[in-house]
A and B are shown apart, each in its own frame.
Chain A
Amino acid sequence: MKVGLLRLWNITKVGLMAISRNKMRSLLTMLGIIIGVGCVITMVAVGTGASSSIQATINSLGTNFIMLFPGAATTGGARMFTDQSRITPEDADAIRAECPAVAYVSPGARTNAQIVAGELNWGTQVWGVGVEWPLIRAWNVADGDFFTDVDVRTSSKVCVLGSTVAQNLFPNGDAVGSTIRIKKVPFKVVGVLERKGGNMMGQDQDDQIIAPYTTVMKQLLGSPRISMIYISARSAGDVKEAQTEIDSLMRQRHRIPPGQESDINMRSQEEIASTSEQTSRTLSILLGSAAAISLLVGGIGIMNIMLVSVTERTREIGIRLAIGAKGRHVLIQFLLEAIALSVVGGAIGVALGLFAPYLVTRFAGMPTQVSTGSVAIAFGFAAAIGVFFGFYPARKASRLDPIDALRYE
């Protein structure tokens, strides 16, 4: 046994020596595996990063979050999406009053505006919302206060800035207490929101201004309609129930008989998240399979080179057989060479795969997350490729006839 192990080690060394004698060729052979393993790890890291940022968004929004949008309106038999919203703040009040599964409701009235503060200006979107909005979005102010119920009732010209807006208009951090002009209307800044970062679509959620919906509608929009309603169910389990209640209430209010398509659209956070998670998963699988194919091609490359190597080294094999190497010694030697090539290639690929996601995050701004599982699988797969694609050439080598091999030129 001890002798056997010793001999195995000796043969391993023989194989490693053969690799080090052909450095350039070995490197080129490994290139396929290096790129394959590196790609698999990077692609999985990009995919994992995307889905974990989605997960983070879901958690930050809460799973009981529901959005209500104006839907398709039927005008003279033609169905179409219209800008003409039929939702009003009264709809929001009715939902709060009549749907028991609903906890919080806030209207959402949106407009775009150029904001001026002193000498600085910044174009952004302004959302008019109710006082329950911070509870629904689980979003607090970092500095100052959110506006109050009184502000909403009296249509006070107050606002809360997203942190991006605050940074651009008040680089010195003295936003709270200052006055800004939104479409020439002066608003007093009462607070600055916490930093939230990008949403699932990659939009910067901190690039917005929040003001009482009453003020936005009167001062900025001049319309009784609102863009959407933010709703929060009592719990994640109540989301379905809340959606049913809201649907029947809205049909009643908008006089749409059952069976006809509603003029509103509801999306729960869960639905949105699962849709975009599915998208990112599909993307990951796509990228992952492309990477896996390159790994496979790398394996075939190894087989090619090993076959060439066996032919090229027929004489060497003949010598080894003549001085007493058994078929299995030659088999092991060539198999180990193939495995060593793919393992070393795999290791370099892992190093690449650990470094590349960093570059992706740094230069493409995409969130990435290297998972140990993908590293292990890619590396293991590379080693397995060495065994699989190394076996055929190795067996060919081990079955050579020593007399023919010695005579080979």
Chain B
Amino acid sequence: MAADSPVLEIHDLVKVYHMGEVEVRALKGVNLTAQRGEFVAIMGPSGSGKSTLMNIVGCLDRPTSGSYRLDGIDVSRLNRDQRAEIRNAKIGFVFQSFNLLARTRATENVELPLLYGNLGLTAVERARRARQALARVGLAGREDHYPSQLSGGQQQRVAIARALVTDPAILLADEPTGNLDSRTSEEIIGIFQELNNAGKTVILITHEPDIAAHAKRVVYVRDGVVWRDERIVQMKAKPGAVAGEPEPAVAFPFTVAPAEEPVREEVPQ
């Protein structure tokens, strides 16, 4: 796969659920392309097909029709086990409810994806990578803590470290700040920004506009199709982004105050 090929290439994606006699068309032909190093926020009201899209992007589910290439690989027709392999190698999940294993140390949680991978790492190497990933999210020194001993923000950092440890093609974050207060949310979103600045592709699913505003591009999903897709030019880089009162670097994308609006440009579909 060429380095310049899109990391995410979705074409005419359709997902139909059958609920008894009723047919629900959750996705009605989604087209979406993301380049390496992009920071895309996917927004949409509930029932928009956002979650369905996220499940398919995360290889947790298969589309009814249409194509989906992840990191150059067509993953739309893979079976259960093949999708598990793709999830392990190419996708780093961060969930709203952290989803750490209880009564399991931070390092062990972070190591978990490596246990299922094909890399054949030794225990020492796994531990080293886990520590490295934890250090990267600012949790050096808390490796042996259990989730119950960590704050929500710290737990989410462990989850981000777990997503990072396999060096995946995309970080897929599903409402990662949904369970956090606004200050901690800023910290977490700041980590994603830093990772993105370091070259990681981040896909962020959220319904909070001020969270989406931290991305470089916002894709609005509505009624099973991409309704709007716009780039945001960040007014201010936010170094650190961890501490301090969150400054409104960008305004709420839906606000109607043009003077405050960040510069946007329509992305040609």
* Residues of A in contact with B (beta carbons under 8 Å apart): 2-3, 6-7, 10-11, 14, 17, 21, 315-316, 318-329, 402-403, 406
B91 to chain A, nearest CB (A): 8
Once the chains are docked, how many angstroms separate the CA of A324 from the CA of B88?
4
The one of A14, A324, A406 that contacts B99, using a Cβ cutoff of 8 Å: A406
Can you list 22 A-B contacts (CB < 8 A)? Answer: A3-B118, A3-B120, A17-B104, A316-B102, A318-B99, A319-B100, A319-B112, A320-B116, A321-B84, A322-B99, A323-B112, A323-B113, A323-B116, A324-B166, A326-B80, A326-B81, A326-B84, A326-B85, A326-B116, A327-B80, A327-B84, A403-B61
Give Cα A287–Cα B89 distance, bound, in whole angstroms. 56
In whole angstroms, what is the CA distance A316 to B84 when docked? Answer: 15
In the complex, which residue of chain B has the Cβ closest to the Cβ of A318? Answer: B99
B157-216: which have CB < 8 Å to A? 162, 166
Judge whether A329 and B99 touch: CB under 8 Å: no
Within 8 A of A (CB), among B118-142: 118-120, 122
A90 to B257, CA, bound (A): 135
Interface of A is mostly: helix
Residue pair B87, A322 in contact (C-beta under 8 Å): yes
Residue in chain B with minimal CB distance to A405: B60
CA distance A324 to B115 in the complex (A): 9
Q: For chains A and B in complex, what number of residue pairs have CB atoms within 8 angstroms?
A: 68
Interchain CA distance A329-B116 in the complex, whole Å? 8
Tell which of A2, A10, A318 has the most Cβ of chain B within 10 Å. A10
A337 → chain B closest CB, angstroms: 14
Inter-chain CA distance A321–B116, complex, in Å, is 10
Asked if A319 and B101 sit within 8 Å, CB to CB, the answer is yes
Any A CB within 8 A of the CB of B95 = yes
Q: Is the CB of A7 within 8 A of B115?
A: yes
Highest count of chain B CB atoms <10 Å: which of A2, A315, A323, A328: A323
Question: Nearest A residue to B115 by beta-carbon distance?
Answer: A10
Q: Told that A324-B166, A326-B85, A329-B116 touch, could you supply 13 new A-B pairs with CB distance under 8 A?
A: A7-B115, A11-B115, A21-B103, A316-B101, A319-B101, A320-B116, A321-B84, A322-B93, A324-B84, A324-B117, A326-B80, A326-B84, A327-B81
Q: Return chain B residues, CB-CB under 8 Å to A322.
A: 58, 60, 87, 93, 99
Interface check B234, CB cutoff 8 A: no
CA distance A72 to B226 in the complex (A): 106
A10 CA / B87 CA spacing, docked (Å): 19
Bound together, the chains give a CA A159 to CA B213 distance in angstroms of 114
CA distance A172 to B70 in the complex (A): 98
Query: Are A2 and B120 in contact, with the CB atoms below 8 A?
Result: yes
Which chain B residues border A327 with CB–CB below 8 Å?
80-81, 84
A325 to chain B, nearest CB (A): 5
Residue B65 lies at the interface, judged by CB distance under 8 Å to chain A: no
Known contacts: A319-B101, A403-B60. The answer to whether A6 contacts B120 by CB under 8 A is yes
Given the complex, which residues of A lie within 8 Å of B162, measured CB to CB? 323
- A273 CB to closest chain B CB (Å) equals 60
Beta-carbon contact of B120 and A324 below 8 Å: no
- Nearest chain B CB to A299 CB, angstrom units: 27
Q: Which residue of A lies closest to B166 (CB)?
A: A324
Please tell me if the beta carbons of B55 and A323 are within 8 angstroms of each other in the complex. no
| Min distance, Cβ A324 to any Cβ of chain B, angstroms | 2
Q: Which residues of B are found within 8 Å of A320, using beta-carbon distances?
A: 112, 116
- Indicate if the CB atoms of B60 and A14 lie closer than 8 Å: no
With A6-B120, A319-B101, A323-B93 as contacts: A14 and B115 at CB distance below 8 Å: yes
**Complex contacts, A2 vs chain B, CB 8 Å:** 120
Give A391 Cβ to nearest chain B Cβ, in Å. 19
The smallest beta-carbon distance between A18 and chain B, in angstroms, is: 9
CB distance from A408 to the nearest CB of B (A): 11
Closest to A10 in B: B115
Chain A residues, CB < 8 A from B103: 21
- B45-95 residues at the A interface, CB under 8 angstroms: 55, 58, 60-61, 80-81, 84-85, 87-89, 93, 95
CA gap between A318 and B55 in the complex, in Å: 13
| Residue among A7, A326, A329, A402 making CB contact with B60, cutoff 8 Å | A402
- In the assembled complex, which residues on chain A have CB atoms less than 8 Å from the CB atom of B58? 322
Q: How far is the CA of A14 from the CA of B162 in the complex (A)?
A: 16
Please name all residues of chain B whose beta carbon is closer than 8 Å to the beta carbon of A319 when the two chains form the complex. 99-101, 112
Residue contact A325 to B120, C-beta cutoff 8 Å: no
Could you tell me the distance between the alpha carbons of A327 and B99 in the complex, rounded to whole angstroms? 19
The 10 tightest CB contacts between A and B, nearest first, are A324-B88, A3-B120, A10-B115, A326-B84, A324-B116, A323-B113, A326-B81, A21-B103, A325-B116, A319-B99
